[in-house]
Amino acid sequence: MAMQTLKDKKIWITGASSGIGEALALELARAGAHLVLMSRNRDRLEQVRKACLEYTSVCLVQPLDLSRPDTMDEMVTRAMKQMGGIDILINNAGQSQRSLAKETPVDIDRKIMEVNFFGVIKLTKLLLPYMLKQGSGHIVAVSSITGKFGFPWRTAYSAAKHAVQGFFESLRAELKEDNIKVTIVSPGRIKTNISLNAITGSGTPYNKMDSGQAGGMLPEHCARKIVKSIRQERKEVLVGNQELLMVYIHRFWPGLYHRLVTKINN
């Protein structure tokens, strides 16, 4: 399989202030990529930027709130002026959920959809014209294995990730003749603060480390696998450990999947 070089590539990463996105930023900086780091927490992004500048000469910070689509046009215009282009967009930012559907008001479901789906496609649609104009590009969508099967306590999050899967798989087919690649990454359990930052039915953070995440793959290991899949221009990649088996159990043994998934209590 051909391996693309990432040296001097202009790579925009959302959710670069923490977890998988932070590890991706460092891994890509080591590969010599030029980076735009985006998320809400500017101070954290500045810290990540400082670490990246040990390895790469170009690393910009751009505050981005995926739940505020009205602010994105201006942000993209500003960042594009500074960076001068885009080769790869990594849609990594996301927020998980820890609440039962019966205890979750619809406005929280909408917020989860906004951050994990509508915000993601809005940013993608703002950046896609630049890729179409230059006749090349690569879009990466970080979904989840819960984008492949349903999971209790994550109804809206799983729905948003299923939507991400459907959107980017369809987009890949549409862009085949435009030399724009689409990679969908579905992580399993990665040891980040995702459960602490997950939203609950009352809109507050869950603030607890789940045992699944605590025992999960290290974000640095996950980032290396994602970067390899980008270099190889893979269409789909699952990243994790034994929990990835559920993807195949769901597909080939739906009865067994149901028995296993109903035993999960958060």
Ligand X SMILES: NC(=O)c1ccc[n+]([C@@H]2O[C@H](COP(=O)([O-])OP(=O)(O)OC[C@H]3O[C@@H](n4cnc5c(N)ncnc54)[C@H](OP(=O)(O)O)[C@@H]3O)[C@@H](O)[C@H]2O)c1
257 given a catalytic annotation: no
Angle at 218 between CA 167 and CA 32, to 5 degrees: 75
Q: Does 44 bind ligand X (CB under 6 A)?
A: yes
Site string for ligand X, 168-187 (x = CB under 6 A): -------------------x
Residue 2 CB, nearest approach to ligand X (Å):
26
- The residue type of 51 is A
Cα separation, 83 vs 125, whole angstroms: 18
Q: Does 158 bind ligand X (CB under 6 A)?
A: no
- The residue type of 217 is M
**Helices (H), strands (E): how many in the chain?**
11, 7
Cβ-based neighbours of 220, under 8 Å, separated by 6 or more: 23, 26, 27
**Stretch of 14-22, 130-138, 229-237, 251-259 lying at the interface with ligand X (CB under 6 A):** 14-22
Nearer to ligand X, 41 or 202 (CB): 41
Cα separation, 149 vs 264, whole angstroms: 13
Site string for ligand X, 181-220 (x = CB under 6 A): ------x-xx-xxx--x---------------x--x----
Residue with tokens 């500048």, as numbered in its chain = 53
Residues that bind ligand X (CB under 6 A): 14-15, 17-21, 39-41, 44, 64-67, 92-96, 115, 142, 144, 187, 189-190, 192-194, 197, 213, 216
Q: Enumerate the active-site residues.
A: 157
